[in-house]
Every structure is written in C-alpha cells, then in structure tokens.
Structure 1
Amino acid sequence: MKPWIKKTLVGLFGASIMVGGLTACSSGHHYRQGAMTPEKMAEMRGKVVERVSSKLDLTDPQKQKLNVLADKLEAQRTAFIGKTAEPRAEVQAIMAGDKFDRTRAQALMDEKTRAVQANSPEVITALADFYDSLNADQQQKVRELMQRRKGWMARG
C-alpha cells in the first residue's frame, strides 16, 4: 500500500473515531434508545457487515477479512470509550466548576489519543488486508462509494 494511502486512511480513521467519540459524549440520542448494549452492537455490526458484503458482492474469504476488520474496529471503539460507563459525565465534570478544567480536559484527550494510537496498527493492517483482498472492480466500487457526499455506509 502506498504511503499516502496509509496516511489518508489513518487520518480519516483517527478523525472519525474522535468525531464519533465527541458525538457520543455530547448527544442525548443514546438516552432515548438506551445505551449501546453488546447485543445492540452485535446486531448493528451484523447489519453493517451484511450490507458491505452485499454491496461489494464479497466472497467468503473476503467476508472473513471484513469480520476481522470489524473485530479490530470494535476493539478500537471499546478502548476509546474506556472503562467509564458514562463518558458524558467526564465531559460535564470538566465544565462543572467556575473555570474550564484544562488539565483534566487535556488528560482526557491524551487518554483517548493513546487508546487510538495503541490499536491503530492492528486496525490499519486489518483494513489493508481487507482492501487488498478485493478485486479491481470491488476496489473501484469502494472508491466510488467513498466519493459520495454521505459516505459509503450511508443509506440510499
């Protein structure tokens, strides 16, 4: 894989993890539908894997590589969220006083950054293995889907 592709994928993945984490901390959506239980995560993961498999017409070996990638992404997400049952409470605690707790905010950001960096090589390897297992037509389809404004996993 070319270095610029790796850098782009790492940058996109890191940015998506950070945005996803901040969104999870700031939105109230999970309160309306309940917290993401392991069962809900497994259900969502199954739907995503099935959707990608059908859009790309994956073979069984390719599906296995996609499942490995899903495992690595799930491990990355778990490491990013951390041991806190309520990530929103962490952010609220930073802003609980008269002044913004910069030290605590930086410590939280450092913790999340370390979690992403620790698992990134495994995620990149799994992503590269999956992408490299695709044939030229499937790779082109991935590129086309990623060019869409909503992203390649969006509905529609």
Structure 2
Amino acid sequence: MNFFRRWHAHHEFHHHFGHGHHGPHFGRHADGFAHLLLNRVGAKLDLDAEQHRKLGAWLEQLQHQRDTMRGLARGPEVAGLFAAEQFAREPAQQLLDAKLDALRAAGPGLVTAFADFFDSLDDEQRQALRFMMRRHGRHDSRHDQRDAA
C-alpha cells in the first residue's frame, strides 16, 4: 500500500471515529465504523475473499449483540426504574439478568465467529493482527490518560 493510501485511511478513520470522539466506537455510526474496520483490517492484513467474509460475519454478530443490548436498556423499563420514590430494585435486577442472559446466549457464537476468522489467517497475518491489537491497546491507554488530565 502506498503512503497516500495509508495516510488517507488513517485520516478517514480518525476523522470519523478518533480524535475528539468520546464514547464507544459502536455508537450511532456503528455501521460505518464496522464497514471502515472491515475495509481497514482487510487491507492491512491483505485478506482474501473468504477471510474478509469471516471477519464481516464476526463484525455482524458483534453489531447484532450490541443492538440487542441497547434494546434491553432503552424505553419505558429503564424510565420506570426511576419513576417512584424508591429505586425499583427488582425490575432493575431483572433487566440486568436479561442483559447477562443475552450476553451468555451470544457468547459462543461470537467466540466461534472470531475463532473462524483468526484460524483462517496465515502466520504473517496473525502476527500483523497481534501487532495491531497491541498498538491499539497502547493508543487507548494514552487516550485514557490524556482524558483524565
């Protein structure tokens, strides 16, 4: 990949989801972020069509899980927790249990989808992915320290 394409991908990524962005990346621009992530990781790792499909399947499951969790935390159920003079402990516990059940139900599928993607990578691609993950982790810790200051 030439310098301009790498710079442009970096610039686009940070323009939409990086500098000055506060909150989770899977926010209101989640579909755009997943598409950008799919394309960016695909280009960095030089994924073939099957690997690209497997990464897309994992990101789709992740997005579905996110939507499910958001659906459980919205609406009149949450507002009802604060409506009375006393906090509605039992309904709050039921809402938490529903979220945990949804996470438990989706967990095996998410793990399998990511494992299928990861296992399809060759040694060089796995090493590049590990490097990207380490680099991303260091970026987050620097970002968190900067936000705390």
Please give the range of the TM-score, normalised by the shorter of the 2 chains.
0.5 to 0.7
Aligned with residue 133 of structure 1, among 103, 120, 123: 120
1:42 Cα deviation after fit: 3.4
1:79 partnered with 2:71: no
Distance 2:106 2:93 in 1: 20
Residue 5 of structure 1 corresponds to none
Residue 4 of structure 2 corresponds to none
Over the aligned positions, Cα root-mean-square deviation in angstroms equals: 2.6
1:98 Cα deviation after fit: 2.4
- Stretch deviating more after TM superposition (106-115 or 92-101): 92-101
Distance 1:51 1:59 in 2: 13
Q: Tell me, which stretches of 5 or more residues in structure 2 are unaligned?
A: 1-22, 144-149
1:57 Cα deviation after fit: 1.9
Q: Give per-residue Cα distances to partners, 1:47-86, cap 9 Å, x unaligned.
A: 121111122221211101111112211222222223x6x7
Distance 2:138 2:78 in 1: 30
Residue 13 of structure 1 corresponds to none
Residue 143 of structure 1 corresponds to 130
User: How do residues 64-143 of structure 1 correspond to structure 2 at under 5 angstroms?
Assistant: 64-82=53-71, 87=74, 90-143=77-130
Aligned with residue 44 of structure 2, among 52, 55, 73: 55
Distance 1:52 1:66 in 2: 9
1:89 Cα deviation after fit: 5.6
Q: Give per-residue Cα distances to partners, 1:77-105, cap 9 Å, x unaligned.
A: 222223x6x72764443233322221111
Distance 1:138 1:69 in 2: 17
Q: Tell me, which stretches of 5 or more residues in structure 1 are unaligned?
A: 1-22, 25-29, 31-35
Distance 2:118 2:56 in 1: 13
Equivalences, count: 115
Distance 1:97 1:143 in 2: 49
Distance 1:119 1:72 in 2: 8
Identity, in percent, stands at 34
**Which stretches of structure 1, 4 residues or longer, exceed 6 Å deviation after superposition?**
none
